[in-house]
Chain A
Amino acid sequence: MIIPLNKEAVEVKKEQDTIFLRNRIKECATKTGMGLVNQTKLITAASELARNMLRYAGGGNVLVETVSKGRENGVRLTFKDTGPGIPDIAMAMKDGYSTGKSLGLGLPGTKRLVSEFDIKSTPGTGTVITIIKWKNG
């Protein structure tokens, strides 16, 4: 049972917005008492997903939440866009696969950086990615 403690929505429409997003996440993560390494992992993951959103979907919204499950606290981020969607998620989750000219590490790398990773995508409608990083996860 995951209980959200507080939430905030951040719009990501241009590259500069990712800096604001990173700062908000850092604030939330610091509040939960997350260590520097986990904070950096979470922020890097968020930065990957925000970039994907900008690059492939022209931007979207991010919901930043502080959540708690039992005795564990953490940060949950929900990335929502109304872009073209991902036709083959299994392929997109493979290392080194990219439809753009990037390293192809964004999605699989993000999954390795966070505690929980969930992706839902409908081609033509958009993509929703939810990640959770637990304080000690």
Chain B
Amino acid sequence: MSNQSPDLAKTLRKKRNDILELWMKNQLADVSLREDLLTNEELRAQSEELLDVLLQNLNERNIAEVESADFEPVVEVLSGISISRAKQGFTPRETGLYIFSLKDALLTVVQQELKDDPAQLVTAVLTISKLVDSFGVTTFETFIKGREEVILRQTDEITEISTPVIQLWDNILALPIIGTLDSSRTQVVMENLLQQIVDTGSSIAILDISGVPAVDSLVAQHLIKTVSATRLMGAECIISGIRPEIAQTVVHLGIDLSNIVTKASLASALRYAFGMLQLDVKKTIREK
């Protein structure tokens, strides 16, 4: 590790302007240059910043250690570039190629410098390749991290919007549950429902699970908890939307839902609720 090109970092620092010019030339000559997303001046400023921070933090010791903590400022700048490029609409491929084009420039300069010493040239080429490759990987990681943040935010949004509590009638609330009922969603569902019971003073809540793909023991447990909590608030809870296949599965699993009023459809649950409230729905006969 230690007996390689003793002044590689110094050479690179000395040749900083050459490297930058070469790099810019490479980038501008590339057919995939995205002038629509980033002007040449901005690109130059971005490249200059990255190159400078890289050369500043490069020394003989860490050039062969890509994991070295000395590169943290470089990684920071790199992450910034990767994220801003992702937002501007660059593809991951374009961002990757941007970093790898730096390698070409570095290698060309090193080649000129060490053309009389093939042995050292090979070591230098390997070292630089390793270093830039690791930077390339960093840009991918940041790129994916940026995307994952978007996905996480969307997941949160879905849980927020997917649990609306609807007032069907005076004193009757309905809560259609769509999608998988996991622990965190049950929490949201229960909170929304209990709060609405307080706000509207309703005495009957209908939980519709037509949109729940599978009812296993954990989902059932969550449902039972929600029903118990509703009862504690002095309201009655009806579970509707039990499909035939779900009914069979629940029985086989051995889940006991017999203490809970369950109905096959939301309509029959509503009819039952009307019955409890002693309401009657009648067809009116119009006088002609």
Contact = CB atoms under 8 A, between A and B. Distances in A.
Interface of B: 180, 182, 213-218, 220-221, 244-246, 248-249, 252-255
Contacts of A51: 216, 218
A103 B214 contact: no
B250 to A, nearest CB: 9
Main secondary structure of the interface of B (DSSP, over half): helix
A103 B217 contact: yes
Contacts of B249: 37, 40-41, 44, 113
- Interface-centre pick from B180, B182, B221, B252 (highest chain A CB count, 10 A): B252
Interface stretch (A3-11, A79-87, A104-112, A119-127): A104-112
Contacts of B245: 36-37, 39-41
Nearest to B215: A44
A29 interface: no
A22 interface: yes
> Which applies to chain A's interface (DSSP): helix, strand, loop or mixed?
helix
Interface residues of A, number: 24
A72 to B, nearest CB: 20
Contact of A105 (B182, B248, B255): B255
Given A19-B180, A102-B221, A40 B214 contact: yes
Contact of B214 (A15, A47, A95, A106): A47
B252 A112 contact: yes
Given A37-B245, A40-B249, A106 B217 contact: yes
